[in-house]
């Protein structure tokens, strides 16, 4: 099944997405990977406010290469999601609705997704040049000192992903 | 005695860092193209087509093939009749990496301390291996290594009694555990023998061989073929979404070891298996 969705997500939209479906996403995505997740996690532990709203949003696990003049962004493919598993349940509890990465998630993440009606998408690993063409705007909005690991607000058009795990706990990496 | 200036090393490393991140070697291109013909899953074929398209875009639009432009592994084979003049060789190589990653718009992916993790902002230091060889030349191989696949690699200290069956099992289990994380179709480098660190180095070196090449040692060649077939029977497939192409190459290097040991290292690489060699 194929879906074209516009951001932000809603719980109803998330429920329609099933493991294995093709999805093209248009709208805002936030990039964050290892170091940014650690900071967000520590902020939440201290009761601080996060630098961007998680409610109904998608985090893209990605750290790009720098863009050349005239390029919005450089190579921009997904990184391995499993490294973010430790930090993810608490972000889901804050309203995070979706994640884009690659590879399997932990049981804790899958059950957090069920509880919070969230979806996990996979983009094709190693296709960073191709995926960069779907990113039309990019702006660093937090943790600038982290370089490639800073949080970026991206605007994507028809960003191609596959539902890797849906809100009912079905996992494409287990189906085959 | 031949004199090589350290600036020649810096310049060569810089150029190689850039070239290797924008363009895959011909043997990898060919291996991926053939993989498309062998793949039986429709989704798998589609993924492989995307990877081909990705490489085209990388070359045309000057965007690195993958955003993980790697930690820079450099093999330096230095002829014993060479004299290097100028800077300390390690500084010369790192300066080449520094310039290459800046001028080539490559990602700076190195942190200075493994625990405190502050980015060094120029992708240095590289991981540099030196070997003294006969002759009066310097052979430099630059092989940037992405960590999606590096993280899935393993060293297993088998017992001599585990034999070839144990080796096969160790490789298959490592590949199975790597799954989608390693961005399949993968290339697999295996090192057998030596010591703990020697087998790891052999496995890394195996990744710099031509992807469809085979060992000169008959039993090793057979093992390479058997393991590649069995890996492709695991069903992991392109991007880990299922399929018949999980790996496009598997190279094994062996060396003598201790009477008590059978070390095996499995170094996994994604389909962006980058390596480039130049001789000064």
Burial per residue of B234-243, b for 16 or more beta-carbon CB atoms within 10 angstroms, e otherwise: eebbbbbbbb
Task: Report the run of H or E that residue A100 belongs to, with start and end.
Answer: strand A98-101
Residues A65-122 have pLDDT tens digits of: 999 999 999 999 999 999 999 999 999 999 999 999 999 999 999 999 999 999 999 9
Chain A / chain B CB contacts < 8 angstroms = 129
- Residue B21, min C-alpha distance to chain A (Å): 11
Residues B84-121 have pLDDT tens digits of: 999 999 999 999 999 999 999 999 999 999 999 999 99
Name the residue of chain B whose CA is nearest to A146's CA.
B119
d(CA B16, CA B31): 22
| Interface ipTM above 0.90 | yes
Residues B240-273 have pLDDT tens digits of: 999 999 999 999 999 999 999 999 999 999 999 9
Predicted pLDDT at B242: 94
Residues B93 and B177 both lie in one domain: no
Check if A4 is active-site.
Answer: no
Considering CB atoms only, which of B57, B108, B148 is closest to A148? Answer: B108
Specify the CATH number for the domain of residue B121. 3.30.360
Q: Do A103 and B121 touch (CB under 8 A)?
A: no
**Does A150 have pLDDT greater than 80?**
yes
Residues B141 and B248 both lie in one domain: no
Q: Do A77 and B235 touch (CB under 8 A)?
A: no
Q: How many domains does chain A have?
A: 1
Q: Do A102 and B180 touch (CB under 8 A)?
A: yes
Considering CB atoms only, which of B65, B105, B107 is closest to A63? Answer: B107
Q: How many domains does chain B have?
A: 2
Does any domain span residue A83?
yes
Residues B125 and B152 both lie in one domain: no
Residues B192 and B171 both lie in one domain: yes
Does any domain span residue A175?
no
Does any domain span residue B33?
no
Residues B267 and B157 both lie in one domain: yes
Does any domain span residue B125?
yes
State which residues form the domain around B260.
148-273
Q: Do B67 and A66 touch (CB under 8 A)?
A: no
B42 contacts in A (CB within 8 Å)?
A: none
Does any domain span residue A176?
no
d(CA B206, CA A1): 41
Residues B110 and B158 both lie in one domain: no
Q: Which of A13, A33, A37, A105 is catalytic?
A: A37
Does any domain span residue B156?
yes
Does any domain span residue B34?
no
Residues B116 and B82 both lie in one domain: yes
State which residues form the domain around A80.
2-170
Residues B177 and B203 both lie in one domain: yes
Q: Do B65 and A128 touch (CB under 8 A)?
A: yes
Written in H, E and C, the secondary structure of chain B is CEEEEHHHHHHHHHHHHHHHHHCCCHHHHHHHHHHHHHCCCHHHHHHHHHHHHHHHHHHHHCCCCCCCCCEEEEEEEEECCEEEECCCHHHHHHHHHHHHHHHCCCCCCCECCCCCCCECCCCCCCEEEEEEECCCCEEEEEEEECHHHHCCCEEEEECHHHHHHHHHHHHHHHHHHHHHHHCCCEEEEEEEEECHHHHHHHHHHHCCCCCCCCCCCHHHHHHHHHHHHHHHCCCCCHHHCCCCCCEEEEEEEEEEECCCCEEEEEEEECCCCCCEEEEC
How many CB atoms neighbour CB B17 within 10 A? 29
Name the residue of chain B whose CA is nearest to A130's CA.
B54
Does any domain span residue B278?
no
Per-residue pLDDT band for A174 (boundaries 50, 70, 90) equals confident
- Residue A113, min C-alpha distance to chain B (Å): 20
Specify the CATH number for the domain of residue A41. 3.20.130.10
Does any domain span residue A104?
yes
Residues B171 and B134 both lie in one domain: no
Q: Do B148 and A80 touch (CB under 8 A)?
A: yes
Considering CB atoms only, which of B54, B67, B183 is closest to A65? Answer: B67
pLDDT in tens, chain B (280 residues): 899 999 999 999 999 999 999 999 999 999 999 999 999 999 999 999 999 999 999 999 999 999 999 999 999 999 999 999 999 999 999 999 999 999 999 999 999 999 999 999 999 999 999 999 999 999 999 999 999 999 999 999 999 999 999 999 999 999 999 999 999 999 999 999 999 999 999 999 999 999 989 999 999 999 999 999 999 999 999 999 999 999 999 999 999 999 999 999 999 999 999 999 999 9
- Among residues A175, A171, A19, A168, which one has the least CA distance to residue A82? A171
Residues B127 and B195 both lie in one domain: no
Per-residue pLDDT band for A175 (boundaries 50, 70, 90) equals low
């Amino acid at each position: 099944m194929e879906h074209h969705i516009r951001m932000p997500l809603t719980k109803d939209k998330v429920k329609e997405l099933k493991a294995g479906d093709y999805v093209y996403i248009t709208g805002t995505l936030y990039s964050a990977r290892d170091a940014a997740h650690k900071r967000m996690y520590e902020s939440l532990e201290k009761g601080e406010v996060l630098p961007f709203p998680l409610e109904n949003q998608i985090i893209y696990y990605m750290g790009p290469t720098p863009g050349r003049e005239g390029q919005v962004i450089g190579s921009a493919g997904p990184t391995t999601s499993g490294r973010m598993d430790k930090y993810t349940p608490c972000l889901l509890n804050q309203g995070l609705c979706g994640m884009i990465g690659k590879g399997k998630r932990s049981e804790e993440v899958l059950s957090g997704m069920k509880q919070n009606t969230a979806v996990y998408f996979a983009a094709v690993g190693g296709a960073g040049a191709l995926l960069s063409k779907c990113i039309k705007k990019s702006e660093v909005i937090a943790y600038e000192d982290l370089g490639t690991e800073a949080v970026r607000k991206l605007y994507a058009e028809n960003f191609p992903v596959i539902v890797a795990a849906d809100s009912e706990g079905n996992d494409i990496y287990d189906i085959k | 005695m031949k004199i090589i200036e350290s600036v020649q090393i810096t310049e060569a490393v810089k150029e190689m860092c850039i070239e290797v991140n924008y363009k895959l070697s011909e043997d990898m291109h060919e291996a991926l193209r053939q993989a498309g013909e062998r793949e039986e899953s429709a989704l798998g074929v589609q993924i492989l087509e995307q990877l081909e398209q990705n490489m085209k875009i990388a070359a045309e639009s000057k965007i690195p093939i993958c955003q993980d432009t790697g930690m820079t592994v450099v093999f330096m084979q230095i002829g014993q009749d060479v004299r290097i003049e100028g800077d300390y060789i390690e500084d010369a190589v790192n300066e080449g990496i520094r310039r290459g990653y800046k001028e080539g718009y490559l990602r700076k992916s190195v942190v200075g301390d493994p625990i405190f993790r502050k980015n060094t902002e120029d992708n240095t230091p590289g991981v540099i291996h030196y070997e003294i060889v006969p002759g009066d030349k310097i052979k430099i191989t630059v092989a940037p290594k992405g960590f999606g696949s590096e993280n899935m690699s393993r060293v297993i200290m088998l017992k001599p009694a585990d034999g070839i069956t144990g080796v096969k099992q160790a490789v298959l289990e490592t590949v199975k555990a790597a799954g989608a994380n390693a961005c399949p179709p993968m290339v697999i480098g295996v090192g057998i023998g030596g010591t703990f660190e020697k087998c790891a180095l052999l496995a890394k070196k195996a990744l710099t061989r031509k992807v469809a090449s085979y060992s000169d040692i008959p039993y090793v060649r057979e093992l390479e073929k058997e393991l590649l077939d069995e890996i492709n029977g695991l069903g992991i497939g392109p991007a880990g979404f299922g399929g018949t192409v999980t790996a496009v190459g598997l190279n094994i290097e062996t060396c003598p070891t201790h009477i008590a040991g059978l070390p095996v290292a499995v170094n996994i690489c994604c389909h962006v298996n980058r390596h480039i060699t130049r001789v000064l």
